[in-house]
Structure 1
Amino acid sequence: MRRTMLKTTLAALAVTTGLVAPALSQELRMAIWSANEAHLALFNEIADEFEASHPGVTVTYDSLAFEGYVTTLTTQIAGGNPPDLAWLFDTTAPDFMAAGALYPLTDTFAKTEGYDIADFPPATLTAWSRDGVQYLYPFSTSPFGVFVNNDMVKAAGAKTPAELIAAGEWTWDNAIATAATVAATGKQGLVVRDFDFKIWENLAEIYAGWGAHPWSEDTKSCAFNSQEMVDAMTFIHDAIFVKKAMPGPGVSADFFAGDAAMTTTQISRASLLPKDDKAFDWDLVPLPSGPIGEYAWVGRAGIGVLANGKNPELAAEFLAFFSSKDNVAKLARFFPPARQSLLTADVLSAANPLLTKEQIETVVIRGVATGQSTQQVPNFAQLQQTVRAGLDGLWQPEADIPGVLNTLCDRLNPLLAAN
């Protein structure tokens, strides 16, 4: 906000002193779910460059809370105050496209000099298009890995994940055993970042290792009561309530604040690693192997232009600038690119000085190449809330896991069949 006020004041001063001619004032606002200072600094750098070539244009970012993000965004749209651009989950993008809420981007990208839409593999565009029209830019295709506090693991007398990997023993069973050993010392073991017994879909980082999915391949029926999901949820439940390897309900623990030995999350969180006297010996490793063997899980986010924004044409032009090769190379520091030409160890190493080439190769590049991601399904917002409420019965020590999941499917099947 200070940045915007200062730029506005200086622009007004320049006009009143006759240094420049007055320009038509236009403001673009992008809704995002990050308030990370390092992310915002980079976003603002890109905005500054765009503003420099577009006199009178101001770009601002509206950081909305991650939990409830989509609800806040749809409330703004319904209230007649939509942002010009929005950062969207791949799970909710289909509903926005189907509702006609997004401005088509195909022509804007095609006429932007040097944009090179062919640099995006077709598979990376599918989630963000409808009927052959591109509605969102594939902003991030980011694999999940495990950040590790090696100091904490060693102090507990356990093997580090790197040692387990070298021995061919980096499995979920051994990861939870390590986490439980740390938890016995009074710290927390493993935290699924942003789960907090609310955002259940983040558990996919674990249950995908069992080959489990929330619904059938055609998304017409519930799969929460499949044997794969029952086994995975039993494993998670046991890790929380029996082994005490994961924080239980009501327990807050932040890996980056030194509260836990491990956390599953994406490389964009590397900027949260502590520095100076609070720093610790850390590592980033792939997700442990599950019963299905080695696997990777990828989170996807896109950026679209709201069709009923104040100036969708200008917003689309900014998005094309934001997603140019030069800017995507900068954004790769936090958000692995979908652009094939930039998905290399050299580019990502230059953008991510905190990460080693080995970490980038094993977690990021391999993860993008092989990673699974959330099944897209219509009406996800209602399904999401139904699952969240249905899983509440799971988060207690004596839960009947198959019973809870069967009841959940009884609630989900009519909703899925109606899609």
Structure 2
Amino acid sequence: MAHSIRKRSLTAALTGVLALSLAGAAMAQEVNLRMTIWSANEAHLKLFNDIAEGFRKDNPNVNVRFEPLPFETYTTALTTQIAGGNAPDMAWIFETTAYDFVNSGALVPLTPALNGTPGYNLGEVPASATERWSRDGQLYAYPFSTSPFGVFVNNDLVKKAGAKTPAELIAAGQWTWPNAIATAQAVAQSQPGKGGLVVRDFNYQAWQFLSSVTYGWGATPWSADGKRCTLADKPMVDALTFVHDAVFNKKAMPGPGQNVDFFAGDAAMTITQISRASLLPKDKSFAWDLVPLPKGPVGEYALVGQAGVGVLKASKNAPTATRFVAYMTNPENSARLAQFFPSARKSQLNAQTLGKTNALLSPAQLDTVVVAGISSGKLMPGHTDFARLQQMVRSGMDAVWQPQANIPAAMQSVCGQIGPLLAQ
């Protein structure tokens, strides 16, 4: 009897130990991934979380959390986390800082994992889309968003001002920068409290977003090899003179310190990427349109913004994070992401495919703005040590945003400051 009791007690004890061991093992296998992003938009987060749930079905021990950081200070906040030993497992990276992240060795190479993922087909992503994210034949961040800039239009405000809508100007072959500014000026002058044209995210601080205008003059901040400052060259001076006149003389663009929100119905037009279509009023409080950028002196042109997703070498869960990136950017999920973040995959670069997840945009809008823009557009300026360059140029351009600015002199001064840094 005593022997039987001792046997049952031993069995119970061993069972308990085994249960605790299994529970401990399960807890040890739990993986929590964190990915920093710049958007806190509910629609974006819902899509990301849906993709994470799909990954979790095959990886029940993996949790993915998306951490939005402020857009304006995103890269600074991310690099601070990395330097402070609190690096995320994965991160969005702006195209402007791609060279810094890729060349610094901060990212895990993705090519072996992506090529080893069944059905991934990395080969259909053109080299033009992966150039900034690659080094020595290795891809270090996947360009999950290759999004052209377009012009969103409030047709109600334009018609109320008695001006031609951009669609009417396009039909007449007259969609040019002077005519776009004339339309913006008509709205701003005739309707108190309403703005003309807003270059979203520019705010006289993030000057790289002004490339959506200056590229129309063939103007760039530095030469193609990144070694020479071209801000004082004639194309940039001419472009900035045009913008300066639109701001200070025609009052067609909000000036420094003026915050005007197109998506609240307060401006005639805004230049931004199609991911911002999610901000359009759900109550359809105004009739809107989406059109390509106006023609500049160099003719038709397009600007493309990119965002890459990479895995940080500092991650304690880099292999799992790499598998999640492969899942998040596979053909199926790339098509889902294209609702906000157009894919560079050749098989998905058509209005029919894009239309499946972009119900807000018509086939014509998808063709003329998205497909044509990705096919022919230039990327936003980028450079190594971009954060430093961005600040130096921003500070120097403060002299441009004055009513009586000497633009050639201001740009010569900026080039004098950044020239030695570019030449390194």
Q: Same fold (TM over 0.5)?
A: yes
How does 1:45-60 map onto structure 2 within 5 Å? 45-60=50-65
Partner of 2:236: 229
Take 2:101 and 2:355, find their aligned partners in 1: how far apart are those partners? 35
Take 1:376 and 1:68, find their aligned partners in 2: how far apart are those partners? 17
Take 1:366 and 1:383, find their aligned partners in 2: how far apart are those partners? 31
Q: Percent identity?
A: 58
CA-to-aligned-CA distance 1:200-221 (integer Å, 9 cap, x gap): 0000000000000000122111
Secondary structure of 2:365's aligned partner: helix
Partner of 1:140: 145
CA-to-aligned-CA distance 1:252-276 (integer Å, 9 cap, x gap): 1110001101000011011110022
Q: CA deviation at 1:122?
A: 2.1
Q: CA deviation at 1:415?
A: 0.8
8 A contact 2:208–2:381 mirrored in 1: no
Take 1:145 and 1:300, find their aligned partners in 2: how far apart are those partners? 14
Take 1:243 and 1:357, find their aligned partners in 2: how far apart are those partners? 35
Secondary structure of 2:148's aligned partner: strand
8 A contact 1:180–1:243 mirrored in 2: yes
How does 1:3-152 map onto structure 2 within 5 Å? 22=26, 24-152=29-157
CA-to-aligned-CA distance 1:294-351 (integer Å, 9 cap, x gap): 1111111111000011111110000000001111111111111011111111111111
Secondary structure of 1:253's aligned partner: coil
Take 1:214 and 1:207, find their aligned partners in 2: how far apart are those partners? 10
Q: Which consecutive unaligned segments of at least 5 residues does structure 1 have?
A: 1-14
**Partner AA of 2:205 in structure 1:** K
Take 1:312 and 1:60, find their aligned partners in 2: how far apart are those partners? 15
Q: CA deviation at 1:98?
A: 1.4
**Partner AA of 2:301 in structure 1:** Y
Take 1:111 and 1:244, find their aligned partners in 2: how far apart are those partners? 55
Secondary structure of 1:91's aligned partner: helix
Which deviates more from structure 2 when the two are superposed, residues 388-397 or residues 223-232? 388-397
Q: CA deviation at 1:379?
A: 1.3
CA-to-aligned-CA distance 1:132-178 (integer Å, 9 cap, x gap): 11101111111100000000000011000000000100000000000
How does 1:240-251 map onto structure 2 within 5 Å? 240-251=247-258
Secondary structure of 2:418's aligned partner: helix
The structure whose Rg is larger is: 2
Q: 1:328 aligned to 334, 338, 357, which one?
A: 334
User: Structure 1 length normalisation: TM-score?
Assistant: 0.94
8 A contact 1:273–1:279 mirrored in 2: no
How does 1:189-208 map onto structure 2 within 5 Å? 189-208=196-215
8 A contact 1:268–1:334 mirrored in 2: yes
Take 1:123 and 1:175, find their aligned partners in 2: how far apart are those partners? 30
Secondary structure of 1:410's aligned partner: helix
Take 1:91 and 1:131, find their aligned partners in 2: how far apart are those partners? 20
**1:391 counterpart = 2:392:** no
Q: CA deviation at 1:110?
A: 1.4
Q: CA deviation at 1:229?
A: 0.2
How does 1:278-317 map onto structure 2 within 5 Å? 279-317=285-323
CA-to-aligned-CA distance 1:18-56 (integer Å, 9 cap, x gap): 99x945211111111011111111000001111121122
Q: CA deviation at 1:374?
A: 2.6
Which deviates more from structure 2 when the two are superposed, residues 46-55 or residues 243-252? 46-55
8 A contact 2:396–2:414 mirrored in 1: yes
**Partner AA of 1:99 in structure 2:** S
**1:268 counterpart = 2:299:** no
Q: CA deviation at 1:125?
A: 1.6
Which deviates more from structure 2 when the two are superposed, residues 371-380 or residues 31-40? 371-380
Take 1:218 and 1:370, find their aligned partners in 2: how far apart are those partners? 20
Secondary structure of 1:189's aligned partner: strand
**1:382 counterpart = 2:397:** no
Take 1:315 and 1:390, find their aligned partners in 2: how far apart are those partners? 40
Q: CA deviation at 1:375?
A: 3.9
Partner of 2:225: 218
Secondary structure of 2:144's aligned partner: strand
8 A contact 1:391–1:405 mirrored in 2: yes
CA-to-aligned-CA distance 1:366-408 (integer Å, 9 cap, x gap): 0011101134322111111100111111111111111111101
Take 1:376 and 1:255, find their aligned partners in 2: how far apart are those partners? 27
Q: 1:415 aligned to 405, 411, 421, which one?
A: 421
Take 1:408 and 1:127, find their aligned partners in 2: how far apart are those partners? 25
Secondary structure of 2:299's aligned partner: coil
Partner of 1:177: 182
Take 1:111 and 1:221, find their aligned partners in 2: how far apart are those partners? 41
8 A contact 1:221–1:412 mirrored in 2: no
Runs of 4+ in 1 over 3 A off after TM superposition: none
Q: CA deviation at 1:127?
A: 1.5
Secondary structure of 1:153's aligned partner: helix
Q: CA deviation at 1:96?
A: 1.1
Secondary structure of 2:150's aligned partner: strand
**Partner AA of 1:225 in structure 2:** A
8 A contact 1:32–1:63 mirrored in 2: yes
Take 1:213 and 1:413, find their aligned partners in 2: how far apart are those partners? 14
Secondary structure of 1:394's aligned partner: coil
Secondary structure of 1:280's aligned partner: coil
8 A contact 2:144–2:341 mirrored in 1: yes
Secondary structure of 1:393's aligned partner: coil
Take 2:401 and 2:128, find their aligned partners in 1: how far apart are those partners? 36
Take 1:91 and 1:376, find their aligned partners in 2: how far apart are those partners? 4
